[in-house]
A and B are shown apart, each in its own frame.
Chain A
Amino acid sequence: MKLSGFPTEGAVPRFNPKPAESGTVMSDFDTGTDEEVIEVGTLPLDAWHRAQGARMVPFAGYHMPIQYAGPFGGIVAEHEWTRTSAGLFDVSHMGQLLLSGPDLDAAVEAVLPIDLSTLKLGQQRYSLFLDEEGGVLDDLMVSRWPEHLYLVVNGATKWDDIGHLREHLPDDITLNHLEDRALLALQGPKAADALARHVTGEYVLSDLTFMKFGQFKLAGHDVTIARAGYTGEDGFEISLPADAAEEIATLLCGEPEVKPIGLGARDSLRLEAGLPLYGHDLSPETSPIEAGLVFGINKRRRTEGGYPGAERINREIAEGTARNWVGLRLEGRMPAREGAEVFAGDTRVGTVTSGGFSPSLGYPIAMAYVAAGHAAPGTALDIEVRNKRLAATVVQTPFVPHRYYRGSK
């Protein structure tokens, strides 16, 4: 059997190699010997992951943990641990960018379909980098810091994003790439309990609700914490000094509720949560409206426009799209992977963009773009895998309900 790579499909953005700045090359998990890997970068927690028994793979240009050893290691065990307790994810490969300068809001609104007049200090919001045709270049989070906007962008696309911002923002806007910061996500129903033991700040952690952020002290270090994540669970994303990453990761994993979780479970968790992964579910070939991300186009911008791709996107908001990104539940146990074709009878109506076996549900699930007439929940479709037709039904997403913390327990 083929074991040259692990895994060959899934959480891996397949981007073109590029970034001169980092001296690294985008890579896939599937780094067979025939694939040249020139150089893979090292993140602040590299040695720490290895000490925890992590299996490291090249991902987004860095060595990253796909899963850990031990009785609670492995994708399924790590997945279940996160759904029932709390998991610590190292997402330091992602780009943390800080913008400042005169008329910052207007400058950023020319690049993103966001309404910054309604983004208050301490709030975070989902947004999208779009090309002139409305295709998705990346998705990101935007937070308002004092005098600054703080952006978190995907790891594999961050160098492109930085170039895009430098090209499209006025020269008097300062872009600071926070390469001296690490990013940790603590996710799961017990994340708040574990984190609260170590955090002091301008307000108590229980006042930090979903999509809010604040400045806190964690083990004596200045950190910013956002209540957000990529698992569908309650949780936090913690931006911290890179040189404090080992200390804080060790501290958090010392809590009985917390274990380190790798990229493998991160992908199965986000798939169950129905959250798109850039490079798979989103690309320049997809519009955010097709993907159901209309909330990423803030209300004022839908009428005013003035952002890249506004003409197409605002037309799609008004008139609908020819295809839609939908969830599929498969019969049986055989999963359908990215690239599998979707059929209604003999007619090809779409393509799977993410798919796998759902550890929480015990059956295979997938996300696919399908023709609009076949996108309603309850629609019966077939997915072709290795010349076999698998029966599937369009279902509402998320597959596993979100459990975000919005206050008032």
Chain B
Amino acid sequence: MARYFTDEHEWIDVDGENATVGITDYAQGQLGDIVFVELPATGTMLDKGGDAAVVESVKAASDVYAPISGEVMETNDALEDDPALVNTSPEEDGWFFKMTVGDKGELEGLMDAKAYKAFCDEL
């Protein structure tokens, strides 16, 4: 399994033909207290870079983009009752959705953990 990062602060764990997507610890820190996560419906076809979810903090709504193209297979029901999971465990329990990997080629150009850390250090 490999984890990739986008420059829009999503992470994606790829395991064969399937992937899990969430937002990074850096992102949740910037957003502050998260009060609601609007997740895509199962079966939604996502386009790389297109709108996939919306995160509502106390003050603002922020769009989350699809790191790659594919179909939404499952969403994290735990976020419905406890959206603050995104704050407390953004890169594990606070995952957003699972999706198919439509085109492995789209993973090229995403960052690994080291590159993403360097990217955030520059911000």
Contacts and interface: CB of A to CB of B under 8 A. Distances in A.
Interface in A51-79: 67, 74-77, 79
A337 interface: yes
A386 B38 contact: yes
Given A2-B62, A75-B59, A333 B8 contact: no
A267 B59 contact: yes
A267 B58 CA distance: 10
Contacts of A8: 60-62
Contact of A9 (B35, B54, B60): B60
A38 interface: no
Nearest to A267: B59
B58 A268 contact: yes
Contacts of B10: 1
A364 B38 CA distance: 14
Contact of B23 (A1, A7, A77, A337): A1
Nearest to A8: B60
A67 B32 contact: yes
Contact of A1 (B32, B33, B59, B64): B64
Interface in B30-59: 30-33, 35-36, 38, 54-59
Given A1-B27, A6-B31, A74-B32, A356 B63 contact: no
Interface residue tally of chain A, by bracket? 20 to 34
A60 B59 CA distance: 17
Contact of B59 (A2, A7, A333, A364): A7
B33 A335 contact: no
A356 B58 contact: yes
Contacts of A196: none
Nearest to B83: A333
Contacts of A1: 8-10, 23, 27, 55, 62-65
B67 to A, nearest CB: 11
Contacts of A318: none
Contact of A335 (B9, B32, B36, B65): B36
Nearest to B33: A76
B30 A3 contact: yes
A1 B6 CA distance: 9
B8 A335 contact: no
Contacts of A359: 33, 58
A2 B30 contact: no
Interface residues of B, number: 25
Interface in A1-16: 1-3, 6-11
A264 interface: yes
Contact of B56 (A2, A11, A67, A335): A335
Interface in B58-100: 58-65, 83
Interface in B14-35: 23, 27, 30-33, 35
B64 A268 contact: no
A75 B64 contact: no
A267 B59 CA distance: 8
Contact of B32 (A264, A334, A364): A264
A118 to B, nearest CB: 39
B27 A3 contact: yes
Contacts of A357: 35-36, 56, 58
A10 B60 contact: yes
Given A3-B27, A6-B30, A334 B38 contact: yes
Nearest to A69: B29
21 contacts: A1-B8, A1-B23, A1-B62, A2-B8, A7-B59, A9-B59, A9-B60, A10-B59, A75-B32, A75-B33, A75-B57, A77-B33, A79-B58, A264-B58, A264-B59, A333-B83, A335-B35, A335-B56, A335-B61, A356-B59, A357-B36
Given A74-B32, A337-B61, 5 more contacts: A1-B63, A8-B60, A75-B57, A267-B59, A357-B56
Q: What are the 10 closest A-B residue pairs judged by CB atoms, nearest first?
A: A7-B60, A7-B59, A357-B35, A76-B33, A10-B59, A1-B64, A333-B36, A75-B58, A8-B60, A334-B36
